[in-house]
Amino acid sequence: MYAALGSALAERASDMESAVRLCAVVALSKLVSSEDPNDLEQSITEIVLNSLCLDPAASVYHFPLTKVCSLKFNKQFSEVRRAALLHIPLTPLTLPTILSRGRDVDPVVRKLLYSSVLLNKLKHPKHLTITQREQVVKDGLGDRQESVRAAAGKVVEAWFNVIVSDSGEDASIVDGVVRFLQIFDVVGPGEGVGADALLSVFARRKDVLDDILFDGVFSITLNEGGFLTGFGWRQTHSGVG
């Protein structure tokens, strides 16, 4: 019964009608966590991930090129990608493909990645690798759409709040900021990303910026702390904040 259901839904995932594909993808997403890879020729996870990225490419061949290139047709495809993004479980296997939607052609898909998936489903930034965290920040805060940048800013703020909470009640705000910077490679290629993330936090949390004194009264030996001191001095003396 399970295999028959999965097989039928897999077939409908490449249906000519986008509404049918959308429903099939939503249903298949609910089966991802309980699937047996031996039940189908192609795993359910692979089918949903293909829909998330391509919706799937095979269905394009049912249509003339002029229709494939039309805005209405692309909008129909993006609706299926949106459904896949919102319903597929967040697992180590699905994460890379999910995060790749930060570069989707549809700004709504890119915004949903931040506002619905990363903000609501990702419990801790350390569930991502350093490279993934930096890519999330770089793609989101650097997006050309303001709505996507705003959604990414909320994710970065949520990460900051989680890290500060992990620091304990006795930790100072400076301790929290240093720990936050430690989730990025700020002494390597990720320095620019760390600076952007911290600026985003300062923009959304004026209280954090007000509580930090960049006057040399504290001594931090960590590399991230040294980055923090220099970064704060540059921003303070350039009139930012």
Each domain of the chain, given as residue ranges in start order, spans 1-89, 110-241
Amino acid at 192: G
Q: Which of 77, 76, 88 is nearest to 113 (CA)?
A: 88
CB atoms inside a 10 Å sphere around CB 181: 25
CB atoms inside a 10 Å sphere around CB 57: 10
How much is the CA Rg of the chain, to the nearest whole Å? Answer: 22
CB atoms inside a 10 Å sphere around CB 210: 11
- Distance CA(157)–CA(149), nearest Å, equals 12
Would you say the C-alpha torsion 45, 47, 50, 54 has a positive or negative sign?
negative
- pTM exceeds 0.85: no
CB 122 within 8 A of CB 95: no
Q: Please state the length of the chain.
A: 241
- Distance CA(133)–CA(156), nearest Å, equals 10
Per-residue pLDDT tens listing for the chain (241 residues): 667 777 888 888 878 888 898 999 999 998 887 766 666 567 888 888 888 887 643 344 344 434 433 444 444 468 889 999 999 999 999 999 999 999 988 899 999 999 999 999 999 999 999 999 999 999 999 999 999 999 999 999 999 999 999 988 887 888 888 899 889 987 777 678 988 999 999 899 988 877 775 544 343 333 445 555 555 545 544 444 4
Amino acid at 69: C
